[in-house]
Amino acid sequence: MEKILLRVLTAGCVATVPFLFRGKRRENFLIFFAKGVLATLVDAYVVGTKKISYPVRPFPKIFKTNIIYDVLFFPLLSVLWVKMTERDHLGKKLLKSLVFSVPMSFGQWYFEKNSKLFKWKKWSPLHTFASVNFTLFTVRGFFGLIKYLDKKDLWR
C-alpha cells in the first residue's frame, strides 16, 4: 500500500509541474530548488538525529530520507504558496501558511499511525507544523531577497 501511495504522490506532483511553472519560470525554479535544498537539509538532520524514520521510501539503499517529499512534494507546495502570497502582507501570509501546515500536520499524523511511510520517534504534529512554517517563510524570505537584489540591479 505504501509504495502505491508514493507512486500516486509522485504522479500527482509530476502532473502539477506544467501548471505551477507557468509564467515566472526563473523565480519558480529558484523557489523550487531553494525549498528542495532546505527540505533535504532539515530532513537529513531529523533522520540523522533519529527523530523520524522512513521505513518505506524510494531508493532505500541510497537515501535515508524520502526524496519524493524533499525534492518534489514540498518544493512544489512552496512554489504554490509563494505564488499565493506574492502580494500579501504578513498577516495574510501567516493565515495562508496555515492552509499548508495544518493539513500537512494532520496528514502526517494520520499516515504515521496508519502506514509505514514514516515513524515518529521524537516527533509530533507540532514539530511538523513548525518545520513546514519555518521552511515556507525561509524560502519566502529568500525569494524576497532575490527580488530585492534584482530590483536594485545588484547582480551586474
Q: What is the chain's mean pLDDT, rounded?
A: 92
Write down the domain spans for the chain.
2-151
Phi, psi (deg, nearest 5) at residue 59: 50, 55
The pTM (predicted TM-score) of the whole model is 0.88
pLDDT digits (tens, 9 = 90+) for 50-78: 999 999 999 999 999 999 999 999 999 99
pLDDT at 26: 84
Residues across the chain: 156
Strand partners, 52: 120
What is the mean predicted confidence (pLDDT) over 92-117? 95
Rounded to whole angstroms, the Cα distance separating 35 from 126 reads: 20
Q: Provide the 10 A C-beta neighbour count for residue 66.
A: 23
Quick one: residue 57, left, alpha or beta (phi over 0 = left, psi -120 to 50 = alpha)? beta
Three-state SS for 120?
A: strand
